[in-house]
Amino acid sequence: MRPYLMWGIPAALFFIAFFHRVAPGVIAKELMQAFGATGTLIGLLSSVYFYAYAGLMIPGGVLIDAYGVRRVVAAGGVVMGVGTLAMAMATAPWLLFTGRFLVGAGATVTFIGVLKIASVWFSPQQFGTLSALSATVGIFGSLAGTAPLAWLVLVTGWRGALVLVSLATLAAAALCAWIVRDHPDGEATKSPGVTHLAIVIRGVLEVLGNRHTWPPFLTFFCLYSAMGNLLLWSVPFLRDVYGLSTLSAAGYASAVSLALLVAAPATGWISDRMHRRKTPYTVLVSGLSGFWIALVLTLGSVPLWGVFALFFGLGIFGAAFVLTWPIGREVNPPQLAGVAVAVVNLGGFLGAALTQGPIGAILDARWAGVMVAGARAYPVEAYRAAFVVCAAFALAAAALSPLLRETRGVNVYAHTIPQRRRS
């Protein structure tokens, strides 16, 4: 049981980190009321998390290797908690943005820490299972950021909800510092020190110089550009177009996360059983494009059960992203597996960071001047224009997927060396 306790506390902080990815969409109306925020500002606020996460992802891994999970993840939890509290107490947009940046910065180390604990406290044969379980914890976090958060906001207000989340985060950080140990008793870990940073930089450059790294990087960039904006704007869309309360809208929007709970582990399992990566990836992103096109063409005209079905389908086929990490790992040197996963993962976070502000600007450009309870209400055509861009990103991912290297579930880096030397 002790290994699961060591894993479970950092996993709880990862749960909270994932919760924050989707939370701005649920409290968008309240932020508009409190700060006179536009869609552009909401998009930029959400994107700040991803900028911080992307920029600190690789340094976060270096810190964990150098100073251990207990200290670094506990510190990250404190930063997240303080950032959440700053957002709750904010009296001006710049304070809101500062808090959001701190949340993203603290969240950076959580997933890396969870995987580090899994690699040290469990046998190598259990690592795949723990990785999938960790990802599932994150998806549960995104579910908590929909209807449960909407209910909490209804009961306590958006500021009260963030204060409670802050307190829970700080409590989990304290538990991490108090209980978690970096390795089992009697086992010592080597601190890589400063030289490790130079090794990481060389590894990053080698991974970036591998042309097979870029197809999964760019495909994930496009995939998460679409998915990140869907998670941000699905609740406002349902509220503005269908006239739902925030709580009801969040319930329907949770279809995406519910689908991912099933589809994400299933996609990994099927890929392993087939000994294929590229084929299921290509099939899924092609299906995803079809669902995005269907959503755009029927936007606002289908009943709510149809919207739920479309969102669920987007979640099922959007699970293609879980194959990004094994492909990135298997086309690069085995000793650089961690760096390779971090680099291709960066693509998705950059996609969300760079697109959420512009998508908000698209909504603002088509705003008809309607205000509901002090918040902007966008017409269906504004959402159609925004979701057309998301559909275009999904189509781009489908177009890029044939460029992925088929690895058959094994590391193929050695087989690419002659190709690179000839090119």
Residue 134: which of 22, 9, 290 has the closest Cα?
Answer: 9
The percentage of residues in the chain with a pLDDT greater than 90, rounded to a whole number, is 62
φ, ψ of residue 143 in degrees (nearest 5)? -65, -40
Give the whole-angstrom CA distance, residue 138 versus residue 107. Answer: 12
φ, ψ of residue 407 in degrees (nearest 5)? -100, -15
CB 291 within 8 A of CB 320: no
Structure token digits, residue 400: 């890029």
Tell whether the model's pLDDT for residue 281 goes beyond 80: yes
> Could you tell me which residues come within 8 angstroms of residue 183 by beta carbon, excluding any fewer than 6 positions away?
120, 121, 189
The pLDDT, as a whole number, for residue 196 is 61
Q: What is the mean pLDDT of residues 326-345?
A: 81
Q: What is the mean pLDDT of residues 192-210?
A: 73
Q: Which helix (H) or strand (E) holds 229?
A: helix 214-242
Tell whether the model's pLDDT for residue 306 goes beyond 70: yes
pLDDT tens, residue by residue, 93-112: 999 999 999 999 999 999 88
* DSSP structural state of residue 323: G
Span of 177-181, 214-218, 301-305, 329-333 with lowest mean pLDDT: 329-333
Span of 118-122, 221-225, 240-244 with lowest mean pLDDT: 118-122
Tell whether the model's pLDDT for residue 126 goes beyond 90: no
The pLDDT, as a whole number, for residue 423 is 44
The percentage of residues in the chain with a pLDDT greater than 70, rounded to a whole number, is 93
pLDDT tens, residue by residue, 284-295: 999 999 999 999
Q: What is the mean pLDDT of residues 321-343?
A: 81
Neighbouring CB atoms inside 10 A of 99's CB total 24
pLDDT tens, residue by residue, 400-419: 999 998 888 777 877 776 55
State which amino acid sits at residue 99. G
Query: What Rg value do the Cα atoms of the chain yield, rounded?
Result: 21
pLDDT tens, residue by residue, 12-65: 999 999 999 999 999 999 999 999 999 999 999 999 999 999 888 888 877 887
Q: Which domains does the chain have, with CATH numbers?
A: 1-182 (1.20.1250.20), 211-423 (1.20.1250.20)
* DSSP structural state of residue 372: E
- The 10 Å CB-count burial string (b at 16+, else e) for 381-405 is ebbbbbbebbbbbbbbbbebbeebb
CB 104 within 8 A of CB 48: yes
The vertex-324 CA angle with 235 and 306, nearest 5°, equals 30
Q: What is the mean pLDDT of residues 114-130?
A: 77
